[in-house]
Amino acid sequence: MSIPGALLGLAVGVGLLLVWRSGPRAPRKPVGPRRSGRRHQLLSAAGLTGINPAQLLALQVVLGLAVAVLVLVTTSTVTISLVFGGFGAATPYLLVKRLAGKRRADLREVWPEVVDNLASAVRAGLSLPEALGALAVRGPEALRAPFGRFAADHRATGRFADSLDRLKADLADPVGDRIVETLRVAREVGGSDLGRVLRTLAGFLREDARARAELETRQGWVVQAARLAVGAPWVVLLLLATQQQTLAAYDSPVGTAILVAGGVVCVAAYRLMLRIGRLPQDLRVLQ
């Protein structure tokens, strides 16, 4: 092929490539913030921001193996050691879940005070970043650290919206989500009703906390009864495992099937009792 023909072919190829690249293409989806996983949200709700889901999983595996080995050395029965190893592996997750529920209940008591402080600061003429930053000093003790981190982040970046997003992730609470989004809308669209909205929200939060505290007190006996009913048979099993006849019985296929069936029944009954006595929980729909 001659040199002019080669150049002509190259020019045609480049032209076709440019035409193809300039044609209509599907719009790219905007990349938003990734939604954290369920375990990450649980750790944040429990206030354990220094632990990630991988570390929690590793702790569960290590504890489960340690309990299984300990029971195996004590009883020399593989089936029983696997059962209690499963209990040991589930313990850290259940403790984190319990801490998350306790922290949410504690925050429920102090959110009205936070909203009152915000309303007072807005009425005194402070800007929203200043009002939120002041909560690191004047706010409830349980929430001073997150608001202190918000104040430091806003001073460093000057971006109010991004700082609000980090504050919302740090608080990891449904009420905190509502307050943050209320302040975001007030900052973006303005308006003179923010103080009245905050005072109304504080009153609503106080009524909700009062009613929920009364209901949780009455609900406590249901939860305790469920835990006692689930735990008692396995404590009896552990005591019976000290006898050689019991160990031989549960190490057989029939004994293994009985343990599996008993575990399934206990878990199903426990979940059913909790569902019957469960109170409606606030969901983080604005995260």
Q: Where are the domains of the chain?
A: 38-276
Length in residues, the chain = 287
Closest among 213, 215, 214, 209 to 277, alpha carbons compared:
215
> Pick the residue with more confidence: 140 or 26?
140
Average pLDDT over residues 79-90: 87
| Rounded distance between C-alpha atoms, residue 107 and residue 94, angstroms | 20
| Rounded distance between C-alpha atoms, residue 181 and residue 163, angstroms | 12
| Rounded distance between C-alpha atoms, residue 177 and residue 169, angstroms | 9
What mean pLDDT is reported for the chain? 78
Closest among 232, 222, 233, 280 to 261, alpha carbons compared:
233
> Pick the residue with more confidence: 182 or 62?
62
Query: What 3-state class would DSSP assign to 125?
Result: coil
pLDDT digits (tens, 9 = 90+) for 176-223: 888 888 888 877 776 567 777 788 888 888 888 888 877 777 777 777
From residue 95, alpha-carbon distances to 45, 49, 219, 231, 248 in Å are: 12, 15, 20, 16, 33
Burial pattern 239-277, b for ≥16 Cβ within 10 A else e, equals eebeeeebbeebeeeebbeebeeebeebeeebeebeeeb
Stated pTM of the model: 0.65
CB 246 within 8 A of CB 285: no
Count other Cβ atoms within 10 Å, centred on residue 170.
19
Model confidence at 285: pLDDT above 70: no
Model confidence at 1: pLDDT above 50: no
**CA pseudo-torsion sign 60, 62, 65, 71:** negative
pLDDT digits (tens, 9 = 90+) for 92-132: 998 998 888 888 888 888 888 888 888 888 888 888 888 88
